[in-house]
Amino acid sequence: EVQLVQSGPEVKKPGESLTISCKASGYRFTSYWIGWVRQVPGQGLEWMGVINPTDSDTRYSPSFQGQVTVSADRSFSSASLQWSSLKASDTAMYYCARLMYFYGSVDYWGQGTLVTVSS
Amino acid sequence: NFMLTQPHSVSESPGKTVTISCTRSSGYIASNYVHWYQQRPGSSPTTVIYEDNQRPSGVPDRFSGSIDSSSNSASLTISGLKTEDEADYYCQSYDNYYRVFGGGTKLTVL
């Protein structure tokens, strides 16, 4: 059974760093791109970036380029999303998602990680 | 870059049919696949249609997708509405490494 299990909720202060994770199981991790999607409370879905776990080829959406870092660790079948300096506007639910192929639909979603940034 | 525009909300009665549109602002809708996701309150999204009109296994055939080049739009149609269909629905497409979601449509089944 394919599963994407994300790390738990986080409460951080502005300026702090953070890494959240997405652990994949039930399939060959390097066979599918992984993406990250943001959802601000009460708002819609936004693509942040995608990564090929085989070679860590990463593509960011323009709005998120330079704001976050997406990475993957093949040995742990895990993808990560990292911030070096959080802002209050980063408060959101973050989903990892497995893509059928590079431009393909998502076929599996993680359960989401809620990040709250507040002083 | 382009945008995908969806109606903010639609409502219909159980048993009826509803269609949600998704209009592409620039570029041709038929040039790149459109995918549709359902998100119930408090849950992760799930895929209901991929590649314009394909249903994942487990999605009932009450859900269908189509493309209309004349209006440069995609549509998600749900027939035989059930209360469990009440959710937010998002279309999604792409172009030149750029992936876009529509703003989402809240479906109320009343």
pLDDT at B62 over 80: yes
- Angstrom distance (rounded) from CA B100 to CA A47: 7
Q: What is the pLDDT of residue B98?
A: 85
Q: What is the pLDDT of residue A42?
A: 95
Other beta carbons within 10 Å of B11:
13
Q: What is the pLDDT of residue B81?
A: 98
DSSP A42: T
Q: Flag if A44 and B102 touch (Cβ within 8 Å).
A: yes
pLDDT, tens digit, for every residue of A58-107?
999 999 999 999 999 999 999 999 999 999 999 999 999 999 988 899 99
Residues of B in contact with A61 (CB under 8 A): 98-99
Tell me what percent of the residues of chain B surpass a pLDDT of 90.
Answer: 95
CA–CA distances in Å: residue B90 to residues A80, B6, B39: 25, 8, 8
pLDDT at A17 over 90: yes
* pLDDT (mean) for B90-104: 93
pLDDT at B1 over 90: no
- Angstrom distance (rounded) from CA A28 to CA B60: 28
* pLDDT (mean) for B17-30: 97
Nearest CA in chain A to B57: A107
Per the structure block, which two tokens stand in for A113? 């990680």
Q: What is the pLDDT of residue B97?
A: 76
Nearest CA in chain A to B38: A45
* pLDDT (mean) for B67-83: 98
